[in-house]
Structure 1
Amino acid sequence: MPQYLVYFNQQWVGDHTEEWFRGRGDLARAVVREMEAAGVLVCTGGLEEETEQAFSADPTSGTVLFSDGPYAETKEYLGGLAVIDVADEDQARVWAGKIAEACGWPQEVRRFKPFDPEAG
C-alpha cells in the first residue's frame, strides 16, 4: 500500500489561547488512536518549536559537517507529521481531514515514492 506524509508547518497553526490548545489535545489523541486501531499509522509526532535545538548534517564538502540550527534560514518550518499506510489517495484524504479537524489547522499531504529495493 502507498504511504503518505501528512504534515503542517508551524506557521499554519495560528495564534490561539492555551485553553484552545489544551482542548485540541484530546481530539488529536483520539485520531491517533483511531489510526492505530485501523492499522494505518506508521508514525506520528509534533516537533519541538525551538529551532535553536535543531541541527544539520551537510555532506556536500566531502566530509559530513554538523552545525547548529536548521539547514536553511526560512520563515516556515515543520511543526508535526504523520506517516500513514493506506490503500489509495481517497483514504489519505479521509485521514488528513480527520487530522486537520482535530488539530484545527491545515495539513499538507504528499505521497512517498514507491521504494524499490532492487534499484541501484
Structure 2
Amino acid sequence: MTQYLIYFNQQWVGDHSPEWFAARGPLANAVVSDLRDAGALVFAAGVHEDDDAAFTADATSGTTVITSGAFAPAEQRIGGLTIIDVADDDTAKEWAGRIAEACGWPQEVRQVS
C-alpha cells in the first residue's frame, strides 16, 4: 500500500454563497466516511483559515526562528488535506476525483515518500 496526499489551496475554492458551502459539507463528509469504511483513510481535515493564528518555524539561517503569521502569502495557503493509503495511483485518482466532486474545486495528488 502507498500513502497519497490529496489537497487543495484556498484560492482554488472560489467565491460561493454560504448555502453553496453548506451543501458541500455533507458530500465531503460522505466521501470521508466511504474512505474510512474502505480502510483507506489515514487523515482528513480542513485547515484553519485565520492567518493570524498561524506561526512559522524557519531554520534556514542556521538558527531556528519562530514567528507569528503565515510563511507564504494567502493565495498559497493550503485549505485542506486528505491522506489515504491505497494500492496504486489509479485508486488514488478515483478517491481524488470523488473528493473534487464533493468539494466542488480541484484537488492535487502527490505520493508520500
- One-letter amino acid of the counterpart of residue 85, structure 1: D
Runs of 4+ that moved beyond 6 A: none
Displacement of 1:7 after TM fit?
Answer: 0.2
Which stretch of the first structure deviates more once superposed, 4-13 or 59-68?
59-68
Shift of 1:62: 3.0
Question: Structure 1-normalised TM-score?
Answer: 0.89
Partner amino acid for 2:57? A
State the distance in 1 between where 2:70 and 2:93 align: 30
Percent of aligned positions that are identical: 58
Partner of 1:101: 101
Q: Counterpart in 2 of 1:56?
A: 56
Q: SS of 1:75's equivalent?
A: helix
Post-superposition offset of 1:19: 0.3
| 1:82-111 CA distance string (max 9 Å, x none) | 000000000000000010000010000001
CA apart distance, 1:61: 3.0
Deviates more, 1:58-67 or 1:47-56: 58-67
TM-score scaled by length of structure 2: 0.95
Residues 26-70 of structure 1, C-alpha deviation per residue, up to 9 Å, x if partnerless? 001100100000000000100011212110011223332110112
**Structure 2 CA distance for aligned equivalents of residues 111 and 80 of structure 1:** 16
* TM-align CA RMSD: 1.1
Residue type matched to 2:44 in 1? T
User: What runs of 5+ residues in structure 2 fail to find an aligned partner?
Assistant: none
Question: Paired residue for 1:12?
Answer: 12
List alignment gaps of at least 5 residues for structure 1. Answer: 114-120
Distance of 1:73 and 1:103 partners within structure 2? 23
| 2:79 match | 79
Q: How many residue pairs were aligned?
A: 113
